[in-house]
Structure 1
Amino acid sequence: MWGGNGVPRVPLPYRGDGHRTPFPSVPISSRMWWPTLLALLVPMVAPLHPEQELDAHWDLWKRTHRKQYNGKEEAARRQIWERNLKYINTHNLEHALGVHSFELAMNHLGDMTSEEVVRTMTGLKLPHNRPHGNETLYVPDWTERTPAAVDWRRKGYVTPVKNQGQCGSCWAFSAVGALEGQLKRRTGNLLALSPQNLVDCVATNDGCGGGYMTNAFEYVRHNRGIDSEDAYPYIGQDQSCMYSPTGKAAKCRGYREIPVGNERALKRAVARIGPIAVGIDASLPSFQFYSRGVYYDQSCNGQNINHAVLAVGYGTQKGTKHWIIKNSWGEEWGNKGYVLLARNRDNACGIANLASFPRM
């Protein structure tokens, strides 16, 4: 029933004898009746069917990450994506119940299996003739105290997060990150160096097929330099070596390796030296979709190290000790490209097994 000026009136109830109450109808202001009308209309709008909702999320994910598929490929990638999404949701429910110390999130790797990620986006390979002598061993000064927390990003030692793409060049990004830190320490200037220079020119490594950080440091020493990123930009695939001395931005005179498995020595190196090249096991889906919190997975195998990253600091979050790790999978991965990895928890993921830094 409508009153004057289009304002609705609420009809009053019957008394039970077939007649309405004798009181006049009560006008409702426009502020009152619109929410009432909407409340009546909302149930009339049918909710999306779960399959339709999943279709919408899939389409949104494809647009967000600029994914395109041909023919049957989309169905296969959709199946992987759905399986990963279910895994993420289950993990996060368990996190809410206190089972895990970190959360997961869907990212640009959502249509890939963990096996595919390891095959195309890691690339750490130990050299067959890796030296084991004391001449390259880092010997910490145990007399000095180390800070409770260190973050070299805040001191200007770390360049922005990069994306290696589907090229097994993690070793080059890890080595370059350590070189950049030492360049800043020595000269006071932070300059992006060229991982592509290493991919193309380190003969003892295999370019996008994988490699090791100390081989990269040795190349820079023998070559008497490495080009800047501007002089030798990254393309994410193997090509002929095009190093030019005119683009040289840094050099090194060797390297040092952290005692295997010694997190105390690694902590001291991070505190006293700067960002350190390290290797970890990155084969688990929990690492693939890490989002925030302190990463710890009992299944992470320190004897199965396959990915090179950069330790840029350490600290404590909500009472849990961690390493600050810079990855090379872009800012869409992790916490803007970083992961907090559990520290002093039985050398989680092998963090201290293959750690090294260049000498300048």
Structure 2
Amino acid sequence: MNWLVWALLLCSSAMAQEHRDPTLDHHWDLWKKTYGKQYKEKNEEVARRLIWEKNLKTVTLHNLEHSMGMHSYELGMNHLGDMTSEEVISLMSSLRVPSQWPRNVTYKSDPNQKLPDSMDWREKGCVTEVKYQGACGSCWAFSAVGALEAQVKLKTGKLVSLSAQNLVDCSTAKYGNKGCNGGFMTEAFQYIIDNNGIDSEASYPYKAMDGKCQYDVKNRAATCSRYIELPFGSEEALKEAVANKGPVSVGIDASHSSFFLYKTGVYYDPSCTQKVNHGVLVVGYGNLDGKDYWLVKNSWGLHFGDQGYIRKIGRELSLNLGKQSFIPLILLVRSQCQKEESLVNRRSVYKTFFSCMFAEFFTTFKLKVAILLF
């Protein structure tokens, strides 16, 4: 039992003074059955019930205000409805961000470029199914593999779920990552580069806990050559990157109950700050009823939001999307080059690799991007 649960139990006697509402007994039982909730101790259930009632009141009042046109999104009592904001952040939102990041912006946007009004990479088959990270602060790993999965699809035509557990177990001390206790998306990418690959989800399944590194190069499903960083505070650069390159790993502030209880609509909470604590994947953008939004894939399962997505996070009034200090984007997957390398002898390996690299850049990202990176 983790320390958060112990803290709940220690204060449960005090909380018990706030008598639960007996008229909600049936709905509490229905909610527990719906999400398979079971509690080991009676005191824990008492504490959870009181948290649930508090969240239910928040949801009910918010949705009443939504019906009166006061909000652009609705809330719902999902599987996280018996948790506090502090618990959700501690257990499921452990993105690490350096206090002083040595910025190395390599992405240059084109202000004269005409971009599509909307984009959804799910429609192009570049996004895998929504995952559930469980009580493990591995959001950074799921965000990273999500970006790479799309690039693998764009380069090879195959959509493969990559192993977040590989990153949790293996990209550890050397990279400043701490598995289920949090990590850096940038260092997840760097591990894949240094390790010359990452396993597939099928060969290295997710366990939602820290474990011994079991990476096997024979099961390598993808690799990348580098990642790029978007300019600080540039939402136009983010829009251009999403439109032209694919889904982008980003960090956001997810510390509010309005976030983890989100159900549908264009999300906007004015209390959101620039404190980045959760890694997600931007898979598109658009406009609904005059409100710009980012289409965001989360890793909290299908019960969160709209089938696992915060489908519409306001772009003009967003949660700092594009305003945090780094947004890595995978540009090149080397799997195609590696296949060619296996067909030639050692002396021609580097020649083959660079030939393939330039070919991919010229066909996919145009000459100006190749010049930028080389």
- Please tell me the TM-score bracket, short chain as reference: 0.7 to 0.9
Aligned to 1:324: 295
Q: Percent of pairs identical after alignment?
A: 54
Q: CA deviation at 1:304?
A: 0.9
Q: Deviations over 1:168-209 (max 9, x none)?
A: 000000000000011011111111000000011112111111
For residue 143 of structure 1, report the CA deviation from its aligned partner: 3.5
| 1:299 aligned onto 2:271 | yes
Q: Paired residue for 2:179?
A: 207
Q: Aligned partners of 1:147 and 1:66: how far apart in 2?
A: 42
Q: Using the alignment, how far apart are the partners of 2:315 and 2:74 within structure 1?
A: 17
Are positions 1:56 and 2:65 aligned together?
A: no
Q: Does 1:89 align with 2:60?
A: yes
CA distance in 1, matches of 2:313, 2:213: 35
Shift of 1:129: 6.8
The runs of 4+ residues in structure 1 deviating greater than 6 Å are none
Of 310, 321, 343, the residue aligned with 2:281 is 310
Equivalent residue letter for 2:284: G
- When residues 225 and 262 of structure 1 are mapped into structure 2, their CA distance, relative to the original with a 3 A threshold, is same
User: What TM-score, normalized to structure 1?
Assistant: 0.83
Whether 2:143 is the aligned partner of 1:174: answer: yes
Aligned counterparts, 1:182-221, within 5 A: 182-203=151-172, 204=175, 205-221=177-193
Tell me which structure has the larger Cα radius of gyration: 1
Does the 8 A contact of 2:162 with 2:221 survive in 1?
A: yes
Structure 1 residues not aligned, in runs of 5+: 1-49
TM-superposed CA distance for 1:268, in Å, is 0.1
Matches within 5 A, 1:131-150: 131-134=102-105, 137-150=106-119
Computed over aligned residues only, the root mean square deviation of the Cα atoms, in angstroms, reads 1.3
2:37 corresponds to 1:67: yes
- TM-score normalised by L of structure 2: 0.80
Partner of 2:337: none
Q: Give distance in 2, aligned partners of 1:156 and 1:357.
A: 18
Residue-by-residue CA offset, 1:5-41 (whole Å, 9 max, x unaligned): xxxxxxxxxxxxxxxxxxxxxxxxxxxxxxxxxxxxx
Correspondences of 1:102-141 after superposition (within 5 Å)? 102-127=73-98, 130-134=101-105, 137-141=106-110
CA distance 1:241–1:129, shift in 2 (3 Å): farther
Where 2:24 maps in the other structure, the secondary structure is: helix
Q: How many residues align?
A: 306
Normalized per residue, the structure richer in helix is 2
Tell me, yes or no, if the aligned pair for 1:105 and 1:291 is still in contact at 8 Å.
yes
Cα separation, 2, equivalents of 1:129 and 1:185: 33
Whole-angstrom CA distance in 2 between matches of 1:185 and 1:344: 29
* Counterpart AA for 1:224: N
Tell me how far apart the structure 1 counterparts of residues 259 and 84 of structure 2 sit (CA, whole Å): 12
Q: Which runs of 5+ in 2 are unaligned?
A: 1-19, 333-374
Matched, 1:280 2:249: no
1:75-127 deviation per Cα after TM superposition (whole angstroms, max 9, x unaligned): 11100000000000000011111111000010100110001000001110014
Query: What displacement does 1:52 show?
Result: 4.4
Residue equivalent to 2:372: none
